[in-house]
């Protein structure tokens, strides 16, 4: 029995898999043996779609946050992100230039370098998304997968943990094929390649290139296979996430962007979502954070994972400790854990 999932996960767009099945049997398998054709004719397409969409929801609708023992809803906490179209990771400055760049967020906003992440994804078929530890890279991909499963992005989401794929020893197609085994297809690869990929109906989300080992050229091999795969099946959407510290790999057909730090308006939205069941506490948190004495904490709050720690700390005590060095130490520890995970 399938677990229930929110009613808003309704059939929409390409999730009308009945048309996929008819197309597959009539066109793709026209030259196949009768037995193969009959097997595909027996597929319950609506049920297969429901199973896959539920699998997407089950795997990607929640996330673990440092310091919080309870998984949180991705949709409940997600705060829209912005991307720099000229990644800071590629820029090299001298001391004088760094002084000029102190107000870079204002400069970037005025010159149009910041763009809403979801809009950028809709406008670009291939994005290489860089981000600092804890900037929200995986959360962004999970949110995109959920939006696609709900039909708000009219493509079938395929989520690939690059670390898991590299460890599996499978080819990319085989790794993806295993994700569709829940649909009980006679041969999932036929559906994936001939219906989804060749007909440009997929959004493929590659998460965590930096988490692939560099030993034995593993990361180099993975990079080449991703590039070959995206070139073999053009027209689909492809996203790759990676930490800014691992930018030595070039994807010629991809646009490089970087997740921007939170602005204070984003901090406010995130905090209100975090304290959604205790709105008064959320307002108190923002009031304390906005005090002049807490300017250093506001700088920490520009990174989602550190903002989460600030929310946790305030939730426990209703104040920020006088020894802010304790919070800074906790923030450093969190970033180190994130860097090593």
Cβ(40)–Cβ(181) under 8 Å? no
Residues 239 and 319 reside in one and the same domain? no
Among 208, 229, 259, residue at a domain's last position: 259
Check residues 241 and 246 and name the one with the higher pLDDT: 241
- The answer on pLDDT for 21 being more than 80 is no
Q: What's the mean per-residue pLDDT of the chain?
A: 83
Strands (E) across the chain are located at 62-65, 68-73, 82-84, 114-116, 126-131, 156-161, 202-207, 237-243, 255-259
Token code pair at residue 289: 């954070």
Average pLDDT of the segment spanning 42-69: 86
Residues 193 and 92 reside in one and the same domain? yes
- The answer on pLDDT for 97 being more than 50 is no
Per-residue pLDDT of 299-331, as tens digits, reads 889 999 889 888 888 887 788 876 666 666 666
By CB atoms closer than 10 A (0-12, 13-18, 19+), residue 190 is middle
Residues 232 and 297 reside in one and the same domain? no
- What is the band of 85 on the pLDDT scale with cuts at 50, 70, 90? confident
Instruction: Return the percentage of the chain with pLDDT > 70, whole number.
Output: 77
Lowest mean pLDDT among 28-37, 91-100, 215-224, 291-300: 91-100
Residues 163 and 278 reside in one and the same domain? no
Domain range for residue 272?
264-340
Record the pTM. 0.85
**Is 251 part of a structural domain of the chain?**
yes
- What is the band of 17 on the pLDDT scale with cuts at 50, 70, 90? confident
Average pLDDT of the segment spanning 293-299: 88
Lowest mean pLDDT among 83-87, 190-194, 220-224: 83-87
**Is 189 part of a structural domain of the chain?**
yes
How far is CA 250 from each of CA 7, 83, 124, 140, 260, rounded to the nearest angstrom? 41, 19, 17, 22, 21
Cβ(191)–Cβ(184) under 8 Å? no
Cβ(94)–Cβ(159) under 8 Å? no
Check residues 29 and 187 and name the one with the higher pLDDT: 187
Instruction: Give residue 69's pLDDT.
Output: 72
Instruction: Return the percentage of the chain with pLDDT > 90, whole number.
Output: 48
- What is the band of 12 on the pLDDT scale with cuts at 50, 70, 90? low
Among 238, 259, 280, residue at a domain's last position: 259
Instruction: Give residue 142's pLDDT.
Output: 97
Q: Which residues contact 28 (CB under 8 A, 6 or more apart)?
A: 190, 194, 195
**Is 22 part of a structural domain of the chain?**
no
Instruction: Give residue 3's pLDDT.
Output: 44
- Identity of the highest mean pLDDT range in 48-52, 135-139, 212-216, 337-341: 135-139
- The answer on pLDDT for 217 being more than 90 is no
Token pair 């691992």 in the structure block, residue: 246
Average pLDDT of the segment spanning 217-225: 91
Residues 248 and 274 reside in one and the same domain? no
Distance, in Å, from the CA atom of 44 to the CA atom of 18, rounded to the nearest integer, reads 8
Question: How many domains would you assign to the chain?
Answer: 2
Average pLDDT of the segment spanning 142-154: 92
Distance, in Å, from the CA atom of 68 to the CA atom of 161, rounded to the nearest integer, reads 23
Residues 105 and 253 reside in one and the same domain? yes
By CB atoms closer than 10 A (0-12, 13-18, 19+), residue 181 is exposed
Per-residue pLDDT of 172-200, as tens digits, reads 999 999 999 999 888 899 899 988 999 99
Instruction: Give residue 151's pLDDT.
Output: 85
Residues 295 and 175 reside in one and the same domain? no
79: left (phi over 0), alpha (psi -120 to 50) or beta: beta
């Amino acid at each position: 029995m399938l677990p229930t999932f929110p009613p808003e996960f309704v059939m929409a767009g390409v999730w009308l898999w009945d048309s996929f099945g008819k197309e597959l049997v009539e066109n793709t398998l026209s030259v196949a043996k009768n037995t193969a054709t009959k097997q595909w004719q027996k597929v319950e397409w609506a049920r297969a779609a429901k199973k896959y969409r539920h699998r997407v929801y089950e795997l990607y609708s929640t996330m673990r946050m440092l310091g919080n023992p309870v998984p949180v809803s991705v949709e409940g906490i997600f705060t829209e992100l912005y991307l720099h179209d000229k990644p800071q990771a590629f820029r090299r400055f001298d001391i004088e230039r760094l002084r000029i760049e102190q107000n870079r967020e204002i400069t970037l906003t005025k010159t149009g370098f910041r763009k809403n992440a979801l809009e950028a994804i809709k406008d670009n078929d291939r994005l290489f998304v860089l981000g600092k530890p804890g900037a929200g890279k995986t959360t962004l991909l999970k949110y995109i997968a959920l939006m696609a499963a709900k039909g708000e992005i009219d493509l079938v989401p395929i989520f690939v943990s690059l670390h898991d794929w590299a460890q599996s020893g499978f080819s990319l197609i085989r790794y993806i094929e295993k994700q569709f085994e829940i649909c009980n297809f006679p041969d999932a690869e036929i559906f994936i390649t001939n219906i989804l990929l060749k007909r440009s109906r997929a959004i493929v989300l590659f998460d965590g290139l930096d988490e692939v080992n560099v030993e034995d050229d593993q990361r180099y091999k993975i990079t080449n296979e991703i590039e070959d795969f995206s070139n073999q099946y053009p027209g689909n959407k492809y996203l790759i996430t990676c930490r800014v510290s691992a930018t030595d790999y070039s994807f010629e057909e991809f646009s490089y962007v970087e997740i921007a730090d939170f602005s204070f308006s984003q901090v406010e939205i995130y905090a209100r979502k975090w304290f959604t069941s205790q709105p008064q506490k959320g307002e108190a948190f923002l009031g304390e954070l906005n005090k002049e004495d807490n300017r250093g904490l506001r700088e920490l709050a520009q990174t989602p994972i550190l903002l989460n720690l600030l929310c946790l700390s305030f939730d426990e005590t209703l104040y920020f400790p006088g020894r802010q060095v304790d919070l800074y130490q906790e923030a450093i520890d969190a970033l180190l854990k994130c860097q090593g995970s």
